[in-house]
Amino acid sequence: MTTLIFLAVLSVLVLVHELGHFLAAKITGVEVEEFGLGFPPRAIGAFRNSRKRWKIFRTSFGKISHTIFSLNWIPLGGFVRLRGEDGQSQAGDNKNFINKTASQRFFILIAGVTMNFLLAAVIFGIGLSIGWPQATDNLPKGATVTDQQVIAIEVVKNLPAEKAGLKAGDAITKVNNQTVDSVNKLRQINNQNGAKEISYQIKRDGQVLELKVTPQILENQPGQYGIGVALAESGMVSYFWPRAIWEGFKLAVFGLKDIAVGFWQLLAGLFSGQNMSDQVAGPVGIAVLTGQVSRLGWLYLLQFVALLSLNLAFINILPLPALDGGRLLFIVCEKIAGRPVKANIEAIIHSIGFILLMAFVAFITLKDIIRLF
């Protein structure tokens, strides 16, 4: 089931991304030769007319029937192949990608990233209109909060919380049979009991568990008893729908900013000699996370899809060969130099970039498998 959910989530993200390229190409008049979900070899497809090909698509949207819509055997991505994308052009061919202006090509390339960002913003907006799991500190006016609870967001090693089996993501509902709905109340109960063993009732993956914990005075909290866990107040946050749309857009912007900061910290760690590979997940790691999140409920899965969509947008906009950002970089260089980079040189650079990218994915996937087993 986890694999099916992961493939469904991945298909939606890729479909939305490639749909952005497809629609932008149609708007600018570039012919789309193939719209593929997954990577070749091809499994099935709807083809344009010819003696050896059959046509099952009929629509009034331009000449969409000239596009091959394919489903491919490797279900880990997708692509839109444009006429002239390989750098080959013919004089007077106004449907050729390479013959379009720099601004039109820029628009086509950035459309995929834009669609992933908009998908996240729409999901956040829908979630915030019906009730969305979110931290409840510093909420703006107009927010409605229900089902407030205290969440463990980080567990410190070798302290009482870890020894008792508390994990990040656990919701602490009761302590010594007293209902806990705020961090201050939890700290108050800990201090009242001192160094005596107390009972923590938690929710984890839909199950209610009871843990025995003995608080102690912590180094960073003189005179205060604690168990060594970072806490946050969370609840179901909702807004009236016009405000929810705006808050969803803001959430997507801040989410993208946080991803950029995290990526920068990752790079800084790598250059400083730290082993940061455990903080990066490949397809296997993301599939495992998808399964874990799906068990929390469909709202959490929807939130996870939005975050994955933002990550996909950020990764694709990086100025690296074979990614959308790398292709955008060549257009920027063309505008600065006043002439395009030779097509064969650009193709070689993108090919090398793709090989390195696949090697990196393979390395991270291997790390995921080792971590899993």
Quick: pLDDT tens for 58-67: 333 334 557 8
Tell me how many domains the chain contains: 2
Q: Which residues pair with 209 in a beta bridge?
A: 202
What confidence tens digit (pLDDT) does each residue in 264-295 have? 887 777 676 666 556 667 777 778 788 777 77
352-373: average pLDDT: 81
Question: Of 151-160, 173-182, 189-198, 252-261, which has the strongest mean pLDDT?
Answer: 252-261
Q: Which helix (H) or strand (E) holds 94?
A: none
| Residue 345 covered by a domain | yes
74 falls within a domain:
no
Residue pair 28/100 in contact by the 8 Å Cβ criterion: yes
Q: Does residue 248 sit in the same domain as residue 333?
A: yes
Of 40-49, 88-97, 152-161, the poorest mean pLDDT is in 40-49
In this prediction, residue 57 has a pLDDT band, given cuts at 50, 70 and 90, of very low
Same domain, 115 and 209: no
Longest dimension (CA), the chain: 84
- Confidence band of 90 (pLDDT split at 50, 70, 90): low
Which two tokens mark 159?
Answer: 């302290």
Residues 245 and 199 in one domain: no
Burial group, residue 195, by CB count within 10 angstroms (0-12, 13-18, 19+): exposed
pLDDT tier, 360 (very low <50, low <70, confident <90, very high otherwise): confident
Looking at the structure, do residues 169 and 258 belong to the same domain, yes or no? no
Residue with tokens 């995290």: 262
Lowest-confidence segment of 43-52, 117-126, 140-149, 280-289 by average pLDDT: 43-52
Please report which residue ranges of 272-297 form alpha helices under DSSP H: 283-294
Shared domain for 315 and 168, answered yes or no, is no
Of 31-45, 106-120, 150-164, 212-226, the one with minimum mean pLDDT is 212-226
Instruction: With respect to residue 287, please indicate whether it lies within any of the assigned structural domains.
Output: yes
Identify the domain containing residue 342 by its residue range. Answer: 105-132+240-373
202 or 266: which carries more pLDDT confidence? Answer: 202
Residue 204 resides in a domain:
yes
Point out which residues pair with 237 in neighbouring strands.
Answer: 132, 145
Assigned domain for 42 exists:
no
- Position 316 in a domain: yes
- Mean pLDDT, rounded, of the chain: 83
pLDDT given for residue 21 in this prediction: 95
**Alpha-carbon gap, residue 113 to 21, rounded angstroms:** 9
Total length of the chain:
373
Whether the per-residue pLDDT at 17 is higher than 60: the answer is: yes
**Residue finishing a domain among 237, 252, 285:** 237
Residue 31 is assigned to a structural domain of this protein: no
E strand or H helix at 188, and its extent? helix 183-193
The verdict on 264 and 154 lying in the same domain is: no
For residue 64, being part of any structural domain is answered with no
Q: What is the pLDDT of residue 358?
A: 80
CATH number at residue 169: 2.30.42.10
- How far apart are the C-alpha atoms of 67 and 61, rounded to whole Å? 12
116 and 245 assigned to the same domain: yes
Position 246 confidence tier, pLDDT thresholds 50, 70, 90: very high
Give percent of the chain with pLDDT exceeding 90: 26
Q: How confident is the model at residue 250 (pLDDT cuts 50, 70, 90)?
A: very high
pLDDT tens digits along 165-200: 888 888 888 888 888 878 888 888 888 888 888 888
pTM: 0.78
Q: What is the pLDDT of residues 295-350, one digit of tens each?
A: 777 888 898 999 999 999 999 999 988 899 999 999 999 888 888 888 788 888 88
- Report the pLDDT value the prediction gives residue 98, as an integer from 0 to 100: 87
Q: Which residues contact 199 (CB under 8 A, 6 or more apart)?
A: 174, 175, 176, 177, 210, 211, 212, 213
Of 189, 222, 237, the residue at which a domain comes to its end is 237
Task: Give the pLDDT confidence score for residue 45 in this predicted structure.
Answer: 66
d(CA 186, CA 180): 6
Whether the per-residue pLDDT at 153 is higher than 80: the answer is: yes
